[in-house]
Every structure is written in C-alpha cells, then in structure tokens.
Amino acid sequence: MDAITRIERTLSTEVGRAKAPGCPPSLAAAMDHAVFPRGSRIRPRLCLAVAAACGEDRPRLTEASAAAIELLHCASLVHDDLPCFDDAPLRRGRPSVHAAFGQPLAVLAGDALIVLAFQALARGAAGAPERLATVISIVAGSVGVPRGIVAGQAWECEANADLSQYQQEKTGALFAAATASGAASAGADPAAWRTLGERLGEAYQVADDVRDVMSDAEELGKPVGRDSVLGRPNAVLRLGVDGAISLLRRLAEGAIEAVPACRGAAALREHIISETQRLVPRHLAARAA
C-alpha cells in the first residue's frame, strides 16, 4: 500500500471516531473540515519514509505516529487562523474552520484534534507498548512547552522576540518529530534523526516564504503577501527570490547529508530529493539552477 493511502486511511479512521453516537455533529464536521481534503501531508509522508528506512516492523505504530503529527499540524492551523491570531478567513482555498463553524467550534475542534493525536498513538502502540512513551515524548515535545509549536506561536505575544528564530523553530519542531518518531516507531534511536527533520523544516519554511511572496505576485499583481502585512520574517524579503531559492537548495543538500546510516538510506535520499524538488515552484526552478 502506498504512503498516502496508509496516511489517509489512518486519519479517516481516527477522525471518524468523532462521528460516533454521542458526539455533537457540528464538532465532528469541524474536525473533518480541518483534516480533509488533504494538504500535502508532507510531515506524515516523511515519518513513513524514515520508518521504512529504519526497517519498519510495527506498521500500525508508524501509521499512528504519522497520523498524530498530521492531526497536531491541522490543530495548530485551526487555532493559528483564529481572529485573535492571524484572523485568516481562508485555508487551503476554503473557509478556515472558524469562518465556517464559528470561533467556539474552532477552539474545540483544535482541542479535540490534539487529544485525538494521543488517542491514536495509544491505539497504534498495541503491538509495541514499550515504544509508546518514547513516541509520545517526541510528538508532545514538538507541540508543547518549552520548544514546541505552541511555544513558538506564543513568542508572537512577546514584546522582545527574534521572530525569525522562533518561526524556524516552530516549523522545524514538527518536521523533527516526523523523522524522530518515524525512527522510534521502527525501534531505531530517534536522536540520530532530528537533524534531518530540522533541516527539512527549515527548507520547507523558506519554500513557504517563496510561495507567500510569489503566488501573490503572480495571481494578484501584488509584490508581497501576508508575511509583509503581518510584519513577519520572510527569506525572500531578506535575500531576494534568487537568494531564497539558493538557500532552499543548500538546505535540501544539507538534509540529504544528514540521513544517518541505515538499511534504507539510498531510498530515503531519493525520497528527500523528490520532495525538496517539489518545494520550488516549477516556473522558478530554472532561476537558481
């Protein structure tokens, strides 16, 4: 079965629990809206690819780790879009959860998705209970305090903060959890796998910066997008388009070098090359080649 089928099947099963009798239908619908239809699923695919490279032997736990990371990613988008943060009316080309369901259900759907991530892990560890605490520590650490995405988001509420550093940390945290939990799910040492995730997270953040500037420029005739409006750090504003794309390439190369020795290293490097190539918009790929 291919990676995306495994991921979507696990997410459907987990989010489907919200549709069980006794659950308020609007909450179930809001959770569904937050998770489907799918985005790129880049983090859970990375998690599965690392587990495979490590000689995956507990597929249910790997799938649960991948799903948990995606559920937490979706939860963070729902809460970050709230009026008290980004006040974003759209997400993936559709109304954001609070725009579609109201603020109360957006707060609750985010909360429920966080809890669901840990329920999924507990269920997925049935065949490997001795790995559960490690996987939970990795996944929870990437979300909570002191250095997870919630902490990263909270830096935006501080008067004196190096937003560039914390934005990077915020993106990097879930990518590092994807690689480390993929390894831990397969019984490998997770610590060796964090650098790969951090570098990929940084590359993804730069790619996001490029999209923020360039898709607006293309589609709306505006030179800059939301980062500029919200006063956020953006690699394109700092380095120019060519500079940002060069940086992206260097980060992608650094990620490939960070793959630890393992049975499936060659296939994993191929996966990373293919993924990072997709990060550069096609019409820009030639510019810094």
Supply the minimum distance, in Å, between the C-beta of residue 261 and its own copies: 28
122/230 with CB nearer its own copies: 122
125 binding its own copies? (CB under 8 A):
yes
d(CA 27, CA 104): 10
List 1, 84, 286, 289, residue binding its own copies (CB under 8 A):
84
123 binding its own copies? (CB under 8 A):
yes
From the list 75, 61, 235, the residue with the least C-alpha distance to 149 is 75
Count of residues in contact with its own copies, rule CB under 8 A: 61
d(CA 148, CA 137): 11
Q: Which residues pair with 94 in a beta bridge?
A: 91
Tokens of 141: 């650490």
141 binding its own copies? (CB under 8 A):
yes
26/164 with CB nearer its own copies: 26
**Torsion sign (Cα): 151, 152, 153, 155:** positive
32 binding its own copies? (CB under 8 A):
no
Which helix (H) or strand (E) segment holds residue 265: the answer is helix 265-279
24 binding its own copies? (CB under 8 A):
yes
d(CA 31, CA 105): 9
Stretch that binds its own copies, among 33-41, 89-97, 133-141, 257-265 (CB under 8 A): 133-141
d(CA 219, CA 242): 20
d(CA 59, CA 134): 16
Stretch that binds its own copies, among 140-148, 175-183, 193-201, 261-269 (CB under 8 A): 140-148
102 binding its own copies? (CB under 8 A):
yes
Q: What is the DSSP letter of 151?
A: H
Most distant CA pair in the chain, distance:
56
Supply the minimum distance, in Å, between the C-beta of residue 54 and its own copies: 20
List 88, 100, 151, 163, residue binding its own copies (CB under 8 A):
151
Binding residues for its own copies (CB under 8 A): 17-28, 31, 75, 79, 82, 84-85, 102-105, 107-108, 110-112, 114-116, 118-119, 121-123, 125-126, 129-130, 132-134, 136-137, 140-141, 143-148, 150-151, 153-158, 161
